Structure 1
Amino acid sequence: MTMAGPFVTFVCLLIVLPQIQAVSIPYNGTVPLQGCQIPCMTEVNLHLFLHQFVDGPNQPNRNEETLVQTSFPFGFGTTIVHDWTLTETTNSKDTVVARAQGVHVQAGLTKDNRWYMTHNIEFEQVRFAGSTLQVIGITAGLESGQWSIVDGTGQFIMTQGIISFTNHPASTWEDGIKELNIRVRYTTPQPV
């Protein structure tokens, strides 16, 4: 029987050592990235107006559609898809800056108007055209509130932020206007 030479031992260590190290890292542990430098964060504040033209009979301009209508108390489970428009003024006929496309679901079994909402805000104009923000929160039934910005794409990669909203006094039953103050922090894209 021959003993393994130093070269064979070295090769075995190169193969086996990374597996031993991988097993020794705890599941919920934090491991720093090698050679990673933290890119710059940018903050942007936007002031826009959301226009919700509700679903219903004789609503030719509606920008939402009921997919599921339930018979549960408070309409629990009713699901509506939306494509709300965002402008820089309360006038819904102004240039559309972005669209909030997603769904809202009546999630309140004990309260009316507890709509859980999730959507992407996709920008159509100028600096942020093609970029999106992923947003979640509760809408309807609240005069004011906040939605979480949980991520983004395009210019808004690795995003976090908050949207504070209030129902605008110019709202009508046909055009529910929400005034949005959007505060976004995102990682400035690095050249590849």
Structure 2
Amino acid sequence: MATTSSSCPCPYTCENEIDLRLYLKQVVGGTDQNQFEIYRPKTGIFGTTVVNDWILVDAPVPNAKVIARAQGLHVLSDLASVGWFVSLNIAFQPDNRFNGSTLQVMGVLPPEGQWAIVGGTGELAMARGTIKHSALPPPPPGSTFGFRQLDIHALYPKNAAERMELF
């Protein structure tokens, strides 16, 4: 007979926790454009699909340090509130704390809301949590970019990457 236990065999907590604030830089035009419309219906806007390779930086300023990239797509899937379904792979850059690790993220992109962290790789293997996001005030008129504040809160097993190698 198989049994399960909710107790943790570790003498201390078996999970690490992330509380991290980053800023998503979205560039909609110009030479640094980091999103591109790949499909627009012949009538209306419902179903418009955009691929993105947004950068995540440490401050909402033009030349901030790049910490990660949010690579994926967003699809206009909510006509009532013009909401975009978002599916992202947040890939941390090699020169920072989570060197090459990723978070898999899904959710809706209204002006403010939350995305679900549904997994991860590397040090962040099996991560779960949420990302609270909110649009920052728009940049000066004529700018082709904007920032979105991301408050990332996630839990992931300690030594998850090492344990995954056993399988």
State whether TM-score is above 0.5.
yes
Alignment-derived partner of residue 42 in structure 2? 71
Pair 1:91-2:61 in alignment? yes
Structure with the largest fraction of strand = 2
Distance 1:32 1:77, change over 3 A: same
AA in 2 matched with 1:122: A
Alignment-derived partner of residue 50 in structure 2? 80
The one of 89, 111, 131 equivalent to 1:120 is 89
Structure 2 portions without partners, runs of 5+:
none
Q: CA deviation at 1:111?
A: 2.7
Matches within 5 A, 1:35-114: 37=9, 40-54=14-28, 56=29, 59-73=30-44, 75-108=45-78, 110-111=79-80, 113-114=82-83
Q: CA deviation at 1:32?
A: 3.5
Distance 1:171 1:40, change over 3 A: farther
Distance in 1 separating the partners of 2:146 and 2:137: 10
Structure 1 portions without partners, runs of 5+:
1-20, 22-29
- Spell out structure 1 runs of 4+ moving beyond 6 A: none
**Superposition TM-score, scaled by structure 1 size:** 0.73
Over the aligned positions, Cα root-mean-square deviation in angstroms equals: 2.3
Q: Percent identity?
A: 35
* Alpha carbons 1:90, 1:170 under 8 Å: kept: no
Count of aligned pairs: 155
The structure that has the greater radius of gyration is 1
Alignment-derived partner of residue 101 in structure 2? 131
Distance in 2 separating the partners of 1:144 and 1:129: 29
Alignment-derived partner of residue 4 in structure 1? none
> Which SS does the other structure have where 1:155 is aligned?
helix
